[in-house]
Amino acid sequence: MDLDAVRTFVAIAGAGRFGDAAAELSITQQAVSKRVAAMEKDLGVRLFTRTARGAELTVDGQALLPHARDLLRAEARAVASVRPGRRALRVDVIGRRLAPAGLLRDFHRAHPEVELDVVTLFDAGAAFDAIRSGTVDASIRAVGAPGGQLPDDLAAARAYDEPIQLLAGPYHALADAGAVAPAELARHRIWMPGIVPGTEWAAYYDALAAAFGLTIEVTGSDFGAEPLLDTLAASRSLATFVGERTILSWPDGGGLRRIALRDPAPGYPHSLVWHRDNPHPALAALRDHLCAGRYGHSGPGAPGAWTPDWARLQEPGVKRR
- Nearest-5° Cα angle at 264, 192 to 254: 40
Average pLDDT value for residue range 91-114: 92
* pLDDT tens readout for residues 159-218: 999 999 999 999 999 999 989 999 999 999 999 988 888 899 999 999 999 999 999 988
Determine the pLDDT at residue 151: 87
Determine the pLDDT at residue 226: 76
Q: Poorest-confidence range of 4-8, 60-64, 243-247, 303-307?
A: 303-307
* DSSP labels, 151-217: PTTEEEEEEEEEEEEEEE-TTSTTTT-SEE-GGGGGGSEEE-TT--TTSHHHHHHHHHHHHHT--EE
- Nearest-5° Cα angle at 270, 209 to 219: 35
233 pLDDT band, cuts 50/70/90, is confident
What percent of the chain has a predicted confidence (pLDDT) above 70?
88
Q: Is the pTM of this model over 0.75?
A: no
Residue 149 has pLDDT above 80, yes or no: no
Determine the pLDDT at residue 223: 60
Residue 12 has pLDDT above 60, yes or no: yes
Determine the pLDDT at residue 73: 85
Give just the sign of the alpha carbon dihedral 311, 164, 241, 287. negative
- Nearest-5° Cα angle at 71, 68 to 73: 115
The residues with which 16 forms a beta bridge, in sequence order, are none
Determine the pLDDT at residue 317: 39
221 pLDDT band, cuts 50/70/90, is low
* pLDDT tens readout for residues 236-272: 999 999 999 998 876 555 689 999 999 999 999 999 9
Average pLDDT value for residue range 60-86: 82
Average pLDDT value for residue range 140-162: 87
Domains of the chain: 3-82 (1.10.10.10)
Cis upstream peptide for 264 (omega within 30°): yes
Determine the pLDDT at residue 298: 47
How far is C-alpha 68 from the chain's CA centre? 36
Instruction: Return mean pLDDT, the chain.
Output: 86
Residue 300 has pLDDT above 60, yes or no: no
